[in-house]
Chain A
Amino acid sequence: MSNALKDLLFKMADDALIIGHRNSEWTGIGPMLEEDLAFSSMAQDKIGHAQALYKILNDVLGEADADTLAFKREEKNFKCCQLVEQPIGEYDFSIVRQFLFDHAELIRYDMLTQSSFQPLAQLAKKVKGEIKYHVMHADTFVKLLGNGTEESKARLQTSLNYAWHLALGIFEKSEFENDLISENIFAGEEELKKRWLQKIIPIIEAASLKIPATDESKIVYGGRKGFHSEYLKPLLDEMCEVVRSDEATAEW
């Protein structure tokens, strides 16, 4: 069972770390100071979530400490989905990505509050309360911009179309899916996806945007198995630049 747990924790932690890293890139260049602040806050939360998940891997499942897992792991061992790896692009992409990703996060953590794996159930209760605000932020801006000007509406629709099949890749199943479900650790990606669609579709409609058509063959899978977009390697190289600049024992 520990391999199934590890797989689940790694993909969640890696998602949080990488989206947090991307969100932090908005610090200083947002469309208004208030959005710099919002994306910085969310970045801190997400990176904190990653740290907490790695800590469970370290404390309970015998993996290395959080810093080693985040800063000294090879790209192929990352389990994040490709949606989070994408560059921040323009604000429309970042806000649409945040919307799609955080709704899935909120539901995932909500489901995990019922997990039979207590360390994760405990963490989920706390994290859920934080992600609630991320979702409020995303919903507010998606609705305002979707109903804003012709340009803002067009930009949001374009980004939604682009992000759609990447977002569906969030729900890529792992080989341990049935174990996680039968052991009551996590109710599964299929269930998560179902609830996610129920939740986001009315909001997309309220934003006067069209739901993109889903083409199963275009869903971007691979991330959960270590196959990543061309964006992850450079991100990790940048993230690890200082760590790699000195001997391995250096403390920072």
Chain B
Amino acid sequence: MYGSTNLSEEDAKRMNSTVEDPEKLEAFESRIARGEKIEPQDWMPIEYRKQLIRMIEQHAHSEIVGALPEGTWITRAPNFRRKLALIAKVQDEIGHGQLLYSAAETLGKTREEMLNDLLNGKSKYSNVFNYPAKTWADIAVIGFLVDGAAIVNQVINSKGSYGPYCRALERICYEESFHLKQGHDNVVYLATGTKHQRAILQDAINRWYVPLLHFFGPPDKLSAHSEKLMKWKVKLASNDDMRNQFLDQYVPKIWELDITFPDPNLKKNNDGIWEFSDPDWNEFKRVINGAGPCNAERIAVRKFAEEAGRWVRAALMNPTEKYVAPLA
């Protein structure tokens, strides 16, 4: 019901083939090398299309699932300023999801198909949203550090080759930078507050440290590195580079507040590279495969929303009244 996609008949037929026309492929690759953006109607290799759908779809799912742990604290935010900021922030995340589903639809998969794949487990979302937000301090840490990590990733990806995704990301990054400010403000209030406030902040940082390291994916030495995706500007930086950039930007800001990370080996070397204890990558795999602390709960909530809203969507598909007067 959410609109149509842009897949031409010819492209739809090609989706199951693996053979590419070498001339078209070469022209495509030289466009990317020249820094041009690829647009929905342009020729593109099947693998490029598939990788981008997978990536944008995962990103969209992460936005709408990511709204859930924070959403549970909207009703408990402790004053007007925080309550209004948190609703606006979570609303932004949903809005990002909407933008990204639209960007992915330009590649030939409908929002409905994507949401179905989220619910049946075929497509993933970021691991970091499978951890619980236990206290108000988690909201501060998510707003500052999880959004901070996301920005590192998104700023880099906004330099990619697919036009609709880049444009969506530029707008998203602009909004995320406000999230970061409210997250930082929240962290600072807790860090400079009462004994209880400092204690819940430290506890939250302790719990979010490993999920944050996991956020950027397995270390380069373990992850299959795709030269082709780099050449096509689908992937623009390695996991380790992004992780290092994140640590470099955010660890000092937490240390500044006299709050620690639960890792005695965390330090910056003279060459600018951060060192840290290798987090448990088996846990990363377990969580990806559905065994994280909140995977079942997150999907259950999405399923509930999909099912409870079905009658509404069905009714909107079938209006007998021709209600076309402009709203404003």
Interface residues of A (CB under 8 A from B): 21, 24-25, 27-37, 40-41, 43-44, 47-48, 51, 66-67, 70-71, 90-91, 133, 136, 140, 143-145, 147-149, 151-152, 155, 206, 235, 238-239, 241-243, 245-247, 249-252
Q: A27-B71, A40-B94 are in contact. List 18 more A-B contacts (CB 8 A).
A: A24-B74, A25-B74, A27-B87, A27-B94, A29-B305, A29-B308, A31-B309, A37-B98, A40-B87, A47-B84, A136-B328, A147-B319, A148-B315, A148-B319, A239-B76, A242-B78, A246-B196, A252-B82
In whole angstroms, how far apart are the Cα atoms of A44 and B80 in the complex?
10
Sample (17) of A-B pairs whose CB atoms are under 8 Å apart? A28-B305, A31-B308, A32-B309, A37-B91, A47-B83, A67-B80, A90-B308, A136-B327, A147-B320, A149-B315, A151-B315, A155-B311, A238-B75, A242-B76, A243-B79, A252-B79, A252-B82
In angstroms, how far is the closest chain B Cβ from the Cβ of A99?
Answer: 15
B308 touches A91 (CB 8 A): yes
B309 touches A51 (CB 8 A): no
Main SS class of interface, B: helix
In whole angstroms, how far apart are the Cα atoms of A149 and B189 in the complex?
51
B78 touches A71 (CB 8 A): yes
In whole angstroms, how far apart are the Cα atoms of A35 and B91 in the complex?
11
Contacts of B321 in A (CB 8 A): 143-144, 147, 206
- Which residues B93-121 have CB closer than 8 A to chain A? 94-95, 97-98, 101
Does any Cβ of A come within 8 Å of B245's Cβ?
Answer: no
B75 touches A239 (CB 8 A): yes
In whole angstroms, how far apart are the Cα atoms of A37 and B87 in the complex?
10
B305 touches A31 (CB 8 A): yes
In whole angstroms, how far apart are the Cα atoms of A25 and B311 in the complex?
20
In angstroms, how far is the closest chain B Cβ from the Cβ of A158?
Answer: 12
- Which residues B45-80 have CB closer than 8 A to chain A? 64, 67-68, 71, 74-80
B75 touches A36 (CB 8 A): no
Q: Choose from B91, B194, B308 the contact partner of A247 (Cβ within 8 Å).
A: B194
In whole angstroms, how far apart are the Cα atoms of A243 and B321 in the complex?
48
In whole angstroms, how far apart are the Cα atoms of A90 and B308 in the complex?
7
Contacts of A37 in B (CB 8 A): 91, 94-95, 98
Contacts of B312 in A (CB 8 A): 31-32, 35, 91, 145, 152
A28 touches B90 (CB 8 A): yes
Contacts of B97 in A (CB 8 A): 33
B319 touches A47 (CB 8 A): no
In whole angstroms, how far apart are the Cα atoms of A249 and B197 in the complex?
12
A70 touches B314 (CB 8 A): no
Contacts of B83 in A (CB 8 A): 24, 47
Q: Which of B1, B97, B311, B315 lies at the interface centre, i.e. has the most chain A CB atoms within 10 A of its CB?
A: B315
B87 touches A43 (CB 8 A): yes
A21 touches B316 (CB 8 A): no
In whole angstroms, how far apart are the Cα atoms of A47 and B311 in the complex?
29
B87 touches A24 (CB 8 A): yes
CB closest chain-B residue, reference A252:
B78
Contacts of A51 in B (CB 8 A): 80, 84
- Which residues B289-327 have CB closer than 8 A to chain A? 301, 304-305, 308-316, 318-321, 323, 327
Does any Cβ of A come within 8 Å of B136's Cβ?
Answer: yes
In whole angstroms, how far apart are the Cα atoms of A25 and B189 in the complex?
26
Q: Choose from B75, B79, B313 the contact partner of A25 (Cβ within 8 Å).
A: B75
Q: Which of A21, A27, A35, A247 lies at the interface centre, i.e. has the most chain B CB atoms within 10 A of its CB?
A: A27
Q: Choose from A29, A67, A206 the contact partner of B79 (Cβ within 8 Å).
A: A67
In whole angstroms, how far apart are the Cα atoms of A51 and B91 in the complex?
20
Does any Cβ of A come within 8 Å of B35's Cβ?
Answer: no
Contacts of B309 in A (CB 8 A): 30-32, 35, 91
Contacts of B71 in A (CB 8 A): 27-29
In whole angstroms, how far apart are the Cα atoms of A233 and B58 in the complex?
40
B98 touches A28 (CB 8 A): no
A145 touches B196 (CB 8 A): no
CB closest chain-A residue, reference B60:
A33
In whole angstroms, how far apart are the Cα atoms of A36 and B97 in the complex?
11
In whole angstroms, how far apart are the Cα atoms of A47 and B95 in the complex?
20
Contacts of A133 in B (CB 8 A): 328
Does any Cβ of A come within 8 Å of B88's Cβ?
Answer: yes
In whole angstroms, how far apart are the Cα atoms of A29 and B194 in the complex?
34
